[in-house]
């Protein structure tokens, strides 16, 4: 049995985030993690979880950019709550 796990590099994560218009804060809020976590992944201070690409694929299927008003957990981001 072959176990293939797609993994993402720190450069790919940053490129994905920037290409879709997310700040580190917005992506962290959407994924339910801290800004520090996103920063550490992008700066190679922490290993990116092997399942992160699945969460990002889910975001892509839901629209992919920060224009979507819901997070993966169904909550609005801080920035979205301020805008009315």
Q: Mean pLDDT of residues grouped by 10 in the chain (84 residues)?
A: 67 94 95 96 95 91 60 52 56
Nearest Cα to 28, choosing from 5, 51, 52, 44? 52
Assigned CATH for 10-64: 1.10.260
User: What six digits make up the tokens of 30?
Assistant: 């959407």
pTM of the model: 0.69
- Rounded to whole angstroms, how far apart are CA atoms 4 and 7? 9
| pLDDT of amino acid 62 | 81
Mean pLDDT of the chain: 80
Question: Which residues have C-beta within 8 Å of that of residue 75, sequence separation ≥ 6?
Answer: 29
**CA distances from residue 78 to 33, 39, 52 in whole angstroms, order as listed:** 13, 18, 22
Tell me what percent of the residues of the chain surpass a pLDDT of 90. Answer: 58
């Amino acid at each position: 049995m072959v176990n293939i796990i797609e993994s993402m590099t720190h450069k790919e994560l940053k490129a994905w985030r920037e290409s879709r218009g997310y700040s580190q804060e917005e992506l962290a809020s959407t994924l339910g993690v801290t800004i520090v976590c996103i920063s550490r992944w992008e700066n190679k201070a922490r290993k990116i979880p092997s399942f992160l690409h699945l969460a990002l694929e889910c975001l892509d299927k839901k629209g992919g950019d920060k224009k979507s008003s819901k997070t993966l957990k169904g909550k609005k981001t801080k920035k979205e709550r301020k805008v009315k």
